[in-house]
């Protein structure tokens, strides 16, 4: 097969995937809008279905170890590698995300993030942190399981960056609004393991990651050109966080657990 023919087939494959995603995205957005306005059905079901369908189209296979805790309030804390982390975690259970404010402007994903009732935060503006923490706390108190990417940015997929403790304070604030003696903080690690069935090394894993100033659309196009991608998601034991707890201490403890889970996954340990 010549280079031009191969490029044509690749372009057709990418266009087909985009059309398939578009074919169910608009109907599911409408279903989600109705759910939010009427409450006739759960507003967590349409996003979860969208995430699952999109994983299939993108060729991302999720391998799960452990499960989200059933007790509420629940704050799930994860490492962050790529925008695909949102689809991966969103396919597992009905959850809501704490996302950077610029996610609002992403094509498709930004709209779905709003419809999924994500909480958008401006990490660079420290003066807004207390208000943002209170908004997250209200959601936790209402029983919404929230996902926090505590690194505050994306990493290379082979290591865990230091966790920022500010938004952990939301877990403590939530206890002031409900009759509970603790919030559960559950660590989870996302590990990108294989591409086309072959193990990824550190360099290849870094190429999949969405780091720094890489634009969303080129990264999406790169992902659409790839074959199957295997991702392992490992849930750790939930950590009770009481009202008198130290947010910096819980951030460090959770960071250590996420790092342990990631290393265990990358080394192929059970």
Assess whether pLDDT exceeds 70 at residue 58. yes
The whole-number pLDDT of residue 76 equals 96
Cis, peptide link before residue 73, omega less than 30° from 0: yes
Query: What is the model's pTM?
Result: 0.90
Q: Region 234-256: what's the mean pLDDT?
A: 93
- Decide: 66 and 235 in contact? Cβ < 8 Å: yes
Residue 244's contacts (CB-CB under 8 Å, 6 or more residues apart) are none
* Alpha carbon distances (Å) from 231 to 3, 57, 72, 199, 262: 30, 15, 27, 11, 11
pLDDT category, 123, cuts 50, 70, 90? low
The yes-or-no verdict on residue 124 having pLDDT over 70 is no
Band of residue 146 on the pLDDT scale cut at 50, 70, 90:
very high
Confidence (pLDDT) at 91? 94
CATH number of the domain at 185, please: 3.40.1130
CB atoms within 10 A of CB 10: 12
Name the residue with tokens 């993030």: 113
Compute the average pLDDT of residues 189-210.
Answer: 90
pLDDT at 88: 95
Residue 76 CB neighbour total at 10 angstroms: 25
Q: What pLDDT was estimated at residue 5?
A: 72
DSSP of 74-93, one letter per residue? Answer: EEEEE----THHHHHHHTTS
How would residue 125 be classed by pLDDT, with cut points 50, 70 and 90? Answer: low
What counts of helices (H) and strands (E) characterise the chain?
9, 9
The DSSP output letter for 240 is E
| Separation between Cα atoms, residue 269 and residue 14, nearest integer Å | 35
Confidence of residue 260 (pLDDT cuts 50, 70, 90): very high
Using the predicted structure, report yes or no on whether residue 150 has a pLDDT greater than 90: yes
Name the one residue in this structure whose structure tokens are 């360099």: 203
| Distance (Å, whole) CA 152 – CA 162 | 9
Q: Report residue 125 as tokens.
A: 């503006």
pLDDT grade, residue 127 (50/70/90)?
low
The pLDDT value given to residue 141: 86
Q: 14 CB contacts (<8 Å, ≥6 apart)?
A: 221, 224, 225
| Segment 214-232 mean pLDDT | 80
Question: pLDDT class for 113, splitting at 50, 70, 90?
Answer: confident
Residue 149: strand pairing partners = 78
State the total domains in the chain. 1
Per-residue confidence band for 178, with pLDDT thresholds at 50, 70 and 90: confident
Strands (E), the chain: 60-65, 74-78, 96-100, 119-121, 146-149, 182-195, 198-199, 229-235, 239-242
**How does strand 74-78 pair with strand 182-195?**
parallel
Per-residue model confidence (pLDDT) at position 92: 94
Which residue range(s) make up the domain with 110?
3-266
pLDDT at 213: 64
């Amino acid at each position: 097969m010549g280079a031009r023919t191969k490029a044509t087939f690749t372009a057709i494959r990418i266009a087909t995937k985009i059309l398939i995603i578009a074919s169910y995205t608009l109907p599911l957005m409408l279903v989600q809008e109705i759910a939010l306005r009427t409450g006739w059905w759960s507003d967590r079901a349409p996003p979860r279905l969208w995430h699952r369908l999109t994983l299939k189209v993108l060729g991302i296979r999720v391998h799960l170890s452990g499960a989200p805790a059933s007790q509420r309030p629940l704050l799930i804390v994860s490492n962050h590698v790529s925008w695909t982390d949102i689809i991966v975690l969103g396919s597992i259970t009905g959850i809501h995300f704490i996302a950077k404010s610029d996610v609002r402007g992403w094509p498709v994903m930004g709209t779905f993030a709003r419809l999924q009732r994500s909480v958008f935060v401006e990490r660079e503006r420290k003066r807004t942190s207390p208000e943002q923490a209170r908004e997250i706390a209200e959601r936790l108190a209402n029983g919404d399981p929230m996902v926090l990417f505590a690194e505050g940015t994306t990493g290379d997929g082979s290591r865990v960056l230091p966790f920022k403790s500010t938004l952990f304070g939301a877990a403590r604030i939530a206890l002031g609004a409900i009759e509970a003696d603790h919030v559960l903080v559950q660590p989870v690690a996302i590990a990108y393991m294989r591409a086309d069935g072959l193990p990824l090394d550190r360099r290849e894993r870094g190429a999949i990651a969405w780091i720094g100033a890489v634009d969303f659309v080129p990264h999406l196009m790169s992902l659409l050109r790839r074959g199957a991608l295997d991702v392992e998601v490992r849930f750790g034991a939930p950590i009770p966080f009481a009202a008198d707890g130290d947010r910096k201490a819980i951030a460090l403890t959770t960071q250590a657990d996420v790092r342990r889970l990631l290393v265990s996954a990358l080394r192929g340990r059970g």
